[in-house]
Amino acid sequence: VSERLGGACGWMAKIVDFTTAEKMDQDGHRFYDADGTHLFGSPELFDSNKSQCGVLGPPRDVWALGCTLSCMLFARPPFWHETPLAAQFSLLQDPLVIPSKPPITNEARDLITRLLDKDPLSRIKVEDILSHEWFRPLVVALEGRQDSSSSSSISGMCTVNGNN
C-alpha cells in the first residue's frame, strides 16, 4: 500500500486543487469559511461554536494532510459518507476509526492519528511532521541524496506492515 507514497515505489504524488488556497503572511492567519473539499475539511470548520472566531490555517492544513494520507493508505477519506451533510455529522460526532485493512505499521497509525486529532490545539504541528518516526527513513534518504551523488533507496518507506 505505501508503494503509493513515492516515485521510487512506483507512484508520484502530485499536489493539486489550489482553488481555495490563500497565502498566509502570519502565523495567526484565520479562515472564516469552509470552502474547499468538505471531505478534507477539519472539524473546527463545521463547528459553529469554533468557526465564528475563525479557524487557524496550519491546523486546518495538517488535518487535510491527514485526510490525504488516509486516501493514500486506505483509498478513502477518514469520515467518508455518501452525502456531504452525513460526512460533516460523522466528522463532528464520531471518533476516528482507522481501518484494519490493509494493515499499517504502528508508526503510520500514530502519525495518521496525530494528523487527524479533532482538537486543533493538540493536533501535530507542521514542523513536527517530518521529524515523526514514520517519515524518518524518507528524510534520511532525501538528505543522503543532497549530500552525495549516489542514489539513495527509500525502500523503508515502501513497507507498510513490516513486509516489502
pLDDT digits (tens, 9 = 90+) for 16-38: 666 666 666 666 666 656 666 77
Is residue 36 in a domain? yes
Is residue 23 in a domain? no
| Per-residue pLDDT reduced to its tens digit, 44-96 | 887 766 656 777 778 888 999 999 999 999 999 999 888 988 988 999 999 99
Query: 113-118 long-range contacts, Cβ below 8 Å, gap at least 24?
Result: 115/62, 115/63, 115/65, 115/66, 115/69, 116/63, 116/66, 116/67, 116/70, 116/78, 118/43
Instruction: Specify the number of domains making up the chain.
Output: 1
Which CATH number does the domain housing residue 100 bear?
A: 1.10.510.10
Is residue 51 in a domain? yes
Is residue 39 in a domain? yes
User: 61 is in which domain, residue-wise?
Assistant: 2-12+29-158
Is residue 20 in a domain? no
Is residue 17 in a domain? no
